[in-house]
Amino acid sequence: MSAMTFLNAVEPHLPILLIIVPLFGALMATFMRSGTVAWFISLVVSVLVALIAWKLLNTILSTGTPIIYKIGNWEAPIGIVYKVDQLSGFVLLVIAAIAAVMMPFARRSIAAEIKQRAQPWYYAMYLLCLAGLMGIVITGDAFNAFVFLEISSLATYVLIALGRHRRALLAAYQYLIMGTIGATLYVIGIGLLYVLTGTLNFDDIASRLGPALADPERRNAVMAALGFAFVGVSLKLALFPMHVWLPNAYTYAPSVATAFLAGTATKAAIYLLIRLLFTVFGVSISIETLPVPQVLIVLSIAAMFLASFSAVFENNAKRMLAYSSIAQVGYIMLGVGLACLPVLAATTDASPATTPNNGMTAGLVHIANHAIMKAALFLALGAVYYRIGSVLYKDIAGIGRTMPLTMLAFGIAGLGLMGTPGTAGFISKWYLALGAIDTGWYSIVFLIVASSLISLIYIGRITEVVWFREPSAAAAQAKEAPLSMLVPLWILALLTIYLGLDTRATVDVAAEAAKVLVGGIR
Amino acid sequence: MQALETLATHYNYFITIVLMISGLFIVIARGNLIKKLVGLSLFQTSVYLLYLTPAKILGGTAPIYNPAYKVYSNPLPHVLMLTAIVVGVATIALGLALVVRIKEAYGTIEEDEIFSKDPDSE
Amino acid sequence: MFTNLTAPFLGTPTGDLIIAAIAIPFIASLIIPLFYKFPNLREAVTLIAATLLAGVTWSLYPTVAAGGQPELLVWSVAPGLDLAFKIEPLGMLFGLIASTLWVVNSIYSIGYMRGNDEPRQTQFYVCFAVAISATMALAFSANLFTMFLAYEVLTLSTYPLVTHKATEDAMKAGRVYLVLLVGTSMVLFLPAILLTWATAGTLDFTPGGIIKPDALSPLLMGGLLALFIFGIGKAAVMPIHFWLPAAMVAPTPVSALLHAVAVVKAGVFTVLKVIVYVFGIETLTSTTANEWVVYLASFCVLMASIVAMNQDNLKARLAYSTVSQLSYIVLGAALATAASITGGALHILMHAFAKITLFFCAGAIYITHRKTEVSQLDGLGRLMPLTMFAFLIGSLSIIGIPPLGGTWSKWYLALGALDANYQFAVAVFMISSLLNIAYLVPIVARAFFKPLPGVAPGEKVKIAEAPIACLIAISITMLGCFVTFFYADPILDMISLIDFTGSETNTTAIEPSGSTIATPDTTAAGTTGETPKGAINVR
């Protein structure tokens, strides 16, 4: 069989391969004795998954119609379907690409941070987590999403627990409690929806919710379902104030795991929430039954400010970035919240159905941009940890002089986080502010830029520490990170700039997805 | 009287709610890591009941096709809960494993004692 | 609108020159670190880059002086966010000043940094080059987005220069600098840009402005202007001025070029561009949204002068003098008449030469005699006659005495104030000139007429001047103060090409032949009318 016919034969099954490949890879990694072999398997699998995701997104964008994969050829309401549309294709690629880019970094970092015999387990869990995240995004079935959510979560707990410090165990335990509560709340919501509609397929639920809402007795149940599912998923994506598990988990997990989780795990949960709000419940239901947009906007803004303030006063660089992640999730959810609100007619010439919603575009773009920037920042810290074994401010003081390339990449990604024009972060904030203007919430524009100012303070503070303070004993001895670490780091750092100047890859796709999500409903 | 009647006819829902709330309460109120897991398990179990209650059709039988029976229970929630039980078992197993490791590392499984052993937030 | 207009200039000499003007300093910043072990080669790179850049900007001048406006769309970042450049007279003027003075300043820097044996000189030259690159991009920007981008890069690249000494004081000043400049730009400037976008649907600098008089309520119009005026923190309008005195901890060449020329002038230049090409002077005058800025700027002019009088530290006094002089330009912009804008633009040039001379002198005094306070300068004229003479010339130019450049800018500013019917503004200019005398002339008087401490009045003292590189730089800028008086005509001609209304009716150099009188809606017609003319002149 020639390569061409093989590819043709495989092509229709790409959606399921997205799950099977990492699952199988995880199985193989489990049986390996050597961390290096397991790493190589993970590398191959990650790249393969990224290529599949890229191919899927390209197909969607060129045809414009969603890819629907029926597992076992069972039709939708009976069987489980995988559905890849512009939104899920976009998120799939973001997650897979981030995972693949940081794999070369992982080998040395993991070899240094995790005991020899546990290394294959790390890679197995990582691949399991990747499979789970892919599954959350690709599935079109509400309960299947729960299963994948738990697969990825269980793997995540192990990844965190593999951290070097004993507090990693406690962080993993706390996350396990919170994560399980969140997942269970989600499942309660889904259960109520199933009782109401008799189906678990996202699209089918959506089409059958209308009559349920019209019936005053069942209306309460719809509200309860929305409430449970919303809170459950919000716990997973660390929406303020359901974020308490996140700082410890990110601080004590192995460096690569932190970078991976910060870039991808919350993003999959955000995807699930967007899917629930816009596809399953639909904006009209979300607004009519519960004040979802208001809640989202208030909580997001609270996250943007309070979490950023916490970041300012942190003395542990990883925890500082963890708090910043909570704030950045706030930006994404603010965009989502704004997308729920009606667009003022005066600000747009065309009808909302044909122009992409700026708020939603901002949220989706920031999913990609934040994943890239935060992964770069955490990888830079991972390289520092690899060299000096600490990321406390007192230890990394003056490290810019001995590890200039690493810290320069850190600085670039930091600029992106602040939303400096010319970086990806600016594009996110630009669309977010446009979204706020579209809905007439001018005050939010000021809140967005004011919170950027706080990020200037915490990024400025660490910049001062690493560049201008006298080097600590450890930092003075440090050497520049090895090439296998610098390359992934710089790819992400340069992407931060590139996506700030050429937005076709992010904004155009996000706008397409926003059009499908928000445009279709109005 | 009305309330009592509702209670009698919907008793399984009330059991679900009681389990749910007591489970959550234990998770939050207890400092012992094992007891927290017990609470978590209760909380998850309540969901099984929530799914199974509407799936059981009164007078229905197991959904194996047989011309003798006209009414079947809905098989789907049962299958779903089978999955959920597996997930729940895995979660509790992992949680317990973590507790074992925590006990090894800290010598205690009481939350307040653990926190007092790592006072610095670094 | 760019698709049609870029065509004549893409791949043409002017298009390449625009790129070159921004790329040369940037590439220099990449080459400089390679020579960190060879100071002579490193400085050679800086000098070559500076000379090349000056050559490039001057070669653009004939095109612009002939009425052409070369433009270049580099990249469209997102709908409405274009990375585009367009050289109109104001930008040309600013570009010429910055690039020419970079040459002079580089010579001075070499003398100063070596004479003072400063650490981390490579970092200094790298950041300096990046800052110049950003300045050129800012000067040539064709829309608010490009300008904002360059504005932020300028702030960030000058931060390491401010904190160059890495002392606790320098770090503190650096924090103030960064938080105030980035802060105002993010919290006020960016929302202003967003609001402009929401109102006008474009960010392009367009003759006659892009905001129509009735597009916003008078309150919002004033508010938007306030966002711009305070958001452009580099213009140092009170109360956003205190970063400037704080930034004086930087080495003197930094203070000289950046805080007398590039950075602060980037601020007032941005204000001028916003008033002329975003609001349009007609929009402003018809809605009287500019009125409060006139009063605020007048207050700043006087207040900063009074504060300057009480500063004993020489650089601090010069810094407050800068704050005051910047408000002249803001005032000129706020008066919103052709003459006052001309005055403001001229003042960018005149003040640049005068103030850089003064800073050069302050630096020369510091590295030769370690004196930083005005009260220490007694009799210094006998030790450093050339330096103190240059200081006198710079002071007189700032005061506005002929035959020095400062005369013209004050003349046009006053003329503009009369045009706009703000007689009191004329009085402000007069009083402030008196205050300038009060805080600048005593410095020179002290140096020449007071006895040198520890030396008998008749005794001969050995002249101890600054390093020769510094003296060359000082002499050049001092001469510049004279030259700009006698050769102000070409500059005035170029400024008169600015199309204030978008209809080309009040410009003198361009015959209204091709294009019909454009309504504010079709402002683009004004530019299309001009562009081919420029293109012809290039060939």
ipTM of the assembly? 0.92
User: For an interface test with A, which of B81, B92, B94 has the most A Cβ atoms less than 10 Å from its Cβ?
Assistant: B94
Q: Do at least 3 CB pairs under 8 Å connect C with A?
A: yes
Question: Within a domain: residue A36?
Answer: no
Query: Residues of A with CB below 8 A from C182's CB?
Result: 418, 453, 456
Q: How far apart are CA A250 and CA A329, in angstroms?
A: 14
From the list C241, B118, C130, C327, the residue with the least C-alpha distance to A169 is: B118
- Shortest distance between the Cα of C443 and any Cα of chain A, in A, equals 36
- Contacts across the A-B interface (CB distance below 8 Å): 72
Residue of A143, A158, A176 lying closest to B80 (CB–CB): A143
Q: What is the DSSP string of A173-204?
A: HHHHHHHHHHHHHHHHHHHHHHHHHS--BHHH
First and final C-alpha spacing in chain C = 24
Q: What is the pLDDT of residues C305-323, one digit of tens each?
A: 888 888 888 888 888 888 8
Query: Residues of A with CB below 8 A from B36's CB?
Result: 177
Asked if the bond preceding C403 is cis, omega within 30° of 0, the reply is yes
User: For an interface test with C, which of A308, A468, A498, A509 has the most C Cβ atoms less than 10 Å from its Cβ?
Assistant: A468
Question: Within a domain: residue A356?
Answer: yes
Helical spans, DSSP H, in C370-405: 380-383, 385-399
- Supply C386's token pair: 């050339």
What pLDDT was estimated at residue C534?
Answer: 33
Question: Within a domain: residue A504?
Answer: yes
* Gyration radius from chain B CA atoms: 20
- Angle at A503 (CA atoms; ends A497, A509), nearest 5 degrees: 135
Quote helix, strand, coil % in chain B, to nearest 5. 75, 5, 25
Enter the DSSP assignment of A83.
E
Residue B61, φ and ψ in degrees, nearest 5: -120, 180
Per DSSP bridges, beta strands C71-78 and A81-84 are unpaired
What is B2-61+68-117's CATH number?
A: 1.10.287.3510
User: What 3-state DSSP class applies to C82?
Assistant: strand
Question: Within a domain: residue A331?
Answer: yes
- Whether A184 sits inside 8 A of B47 (CB atoms) is yes
Which residues of A sit within 8 Å Cβ distance of B?
A: 143, 146-147, 150, 154, 157-158, 161, 166-167, 169-170, 172-173, 176-177, 180-181, 184, 187-188, 191, 194-195, 200, 315-316, 319, 392
Sequence spans of domains, chain C:
2-538
From the list A113, A124, A171, the residue with the least C-alpha distance to A151 is: A124
User: Helix A142-161 and helix A245-252: axis angle, to 10°?
Assistant: 50
- Whether C77 sits inside 8 A of A452 (CB atoms) is no
What pLDDT was estimated at residue C3?
Answer: 38
The DSSP element (H or E) to which C434 belongs, if any, is: helix C423-449
* Residues near B60 by beta carbon (within 8 Å), at least 6 away in sequence: B71, B72, B73
From the list C332, C330, C325, the residue with the least C-alpha distance to C351 is: C325
Question: Within a domain: residue A359?
Answer: yes
User: What 3-state DSSP class applies to C76?
Assistant: strand
The tally of CA atoms less than 13 A away on the side-chain side of residue C19 is 12
Rounded to an integer, what is the distance from CA A201 to the centroid of its chain? 23
Q: How far apart are CA A406 and CA A391, in angstroms?
A: 13
Q: How far apart are CA A416 and CA A497, in angstroms?
A: 8
* Residues near C396 by beta carbon (within 8 Å), at least 6 away in sequence: C404, C406
Which residues of A sit within 8 Å Cβ distance of C?
A: 347, 415, 418-422, 427, 429-430, 433-434, 437, 442, 445-446, 449-450, 452-453, 456-457, 460, 464, 468, 500-503, 507
- Whether A169 sits inside 8 A of B98 (CB atoms) is yes
Amino acid in the structure at residue A66? P
pLDDT tens, residue order, chain C (539 aa): 333 343 344 445 677 788 888 888 888 888 887 877 777 777 888 888 888 888 888 888 888 877 777 777 777 777 778 888 888 888 888 888 888 888 888 888 887 777 777 777 777 888 888 888 899 889 888 888 888 888 988 888 888 888 887 777 888 888 888 888 888 888 888 888 888 888 887 888 888 778 877 777 777 888 888 888 888 888 888 887 888 888 787 777 787 777 677 888 888 889 888 888 888 877 777 777 778 888 888 888 888 888 888 888 888 888 888 888 888 888 888 888 888 888 888 888 888 888 888 888 888 888 877 777 877 777 777 777 788 888 888 888 888 877 887 788 888 888 888 888 888 888 888 888 888 888 888 888 887 777 777 766 666 677 777 777 778 888 888 888 888 888 878 878 887 777 777 664 433 443 333 333 333 343 343 344 333 333 333 32
Q: How far apart are CA B81 and CA B51, in angstroms?
A: 7
Query: Residues of C with CB below 8 A from A418's CB?
Result: 182
Sequence spans of domains, chain B:
2-61+68-117
What pLDDT was estimated at residue C163?
Answer: 81
Rounded to an integer, what is the distance from CA A170 to the centroid of its chain? 23
- Supply A422's token pair: 């010319």
- Supply C301's token pair: 């002019």
Q: How far apart are CA A188 and CA C505, in angstroms?
A: 72
Amino acid in the structure at residue C135? T
Q: Do at least 3 CB pairs under 8 Å connect B with C?
A: no
Question: Within a domain: residue A227?
Answer: no
What pLDDT was estimated at residue A1?
Answer: 57
- Whether A392 sits inside 8 A of B94 (CB atoms) is no
Residue reference for tokens 């709330």: B21
Q: How far apart are CA C322 and CA C308, in angstroms?
A: 9
Q: What is the DSSP string of C300-359?
A: HHHHHHHHHHT--BHHHHHHHHHHHHHHHHHHHHHHTSHHHHHHHHHHHHHHHHHHHHHH
- Shortest distance between the Cα of B28 and any Cα of chain A, in A, equals 10
- Whether B47 sits inside 8 A of A187 (CB atoms) is yes
Longest dimension (CA), chain C: 75
User: What 3-state DSSP class applies to C184?
Assistant: helix
**Which of C219-253 are b and which e, b meaning 16 or more Cβ less than 10 Å from the residue's Cβ?**
eebbebbbbbbbbbbbbbbbebbbbbbbbbbbbbb
Contact A138, A284 (CB under 8 A): no
CA torsion sign for C207, C212, C218, C220 is: negative
Query: Residues of A with CB below 8 A from B20's CB?
Result: 188
From the list A403, A371, A390, A367, the residue with the least C-alpha distance to A478 is: A403
- Shortest distance between the Cα of A233 and any Cα of chain B, in A, equals 16
Measured CA to CA in angstroms, residue A200 lies from A195, A272, B88, C307 at distances of 10, 14, 20, 73
Measured CA to CA in angstroms, residue A367 lies from A237, A329, C516 at distances of 12, 8, 49
Q: How far apart are CA A150 and CA A324, in angstroms?
A: 25
* Residues near A130 by beta carbon (within 8 Å), at least 6 away in sequence: A22, A45, A46, A49, A95, A96, A99, A264
pTM of the full structure? 0.86
Q: How far apart are CA B47 and CA B16, in angstroms?
A: 7
User: What 3-state DSSP class applies to A240?
Assistant: coil
Host domain of residue A520: 291-522
* Residues near A421 by beta carbon (within 8 Å), at least 6 away in sequence: A500, C145, C148, C149, C152
- Shortest distance between the Cα of A90 and any Cα of chain B, in A, equals 28
Question: Within a domain: residue A495?
Answer: yes
Rounded to an integer, what is the distance from CA C331 to the centroid of its chain? 15
- Whether A464 sits inside 8 A of C190 (CB atoms) is no
- Whether C75 sits inside 8 A of A445 (CB atoms) is no
What pLDDT was estimated at residue C510?
Answer: 39
- Angle at C91 (CA atoms; ends C89, C95), nearest 5 degrees: 115
- Whether B44 sits inside 8 A of A180 (CB atoms) is yes
The tally of CA atoms less than 13 A away on the side-chain side of residue C356 is 37
User: For an interface test with C, which of A464, A506, A508 has the most C Cβ atoms less than 10 Å from its Cβ?
Assistant: A464
Domains in chain A: how many in total?
1
First and final C-alpha spacing in chain B = 58
pLDDT tens, residue order, chain A (522 aa): 577 787 788 888 888 889 999 999 999 988 888 888 899 999 999 999 999 999 999 888 888 888 888 887 777 677 888 989 888 999 999 999 999 999 999 988 888 888 888 899 999 999 999 999 999 999 988 999 999 999 999 999 999 999 888 889 999 999 999 999 999 999 999 998 888 888 888 888 888 887 777 777 788 888 888 889 999 999 988 888 888 889 989 999 999 999 999 989 889 999 999 998 888 887 667 666 678 888 888 999 999 999 999 899 988 999 999 999 999 999 999 998 888 877 765 444 444 455 778 888 899 999 999 999 999 999 999 999 998 888 888 888 888 888 888 998 999 999 999 888 888 988 898 889 888 888 888 888 888 888 888 888 899 889 888 888 888 888 888 888 888 899 999 999 999 999 888 888 888 888 888 887 876 443
User: Helix A35-63 and helix A14-30: axis angle, to 10°?
Assistant: 170
- Shortest distance between the Cα of C216 and any Cα of chain A, in A, equals 13
Residue reference for tokens 């469209």: C76
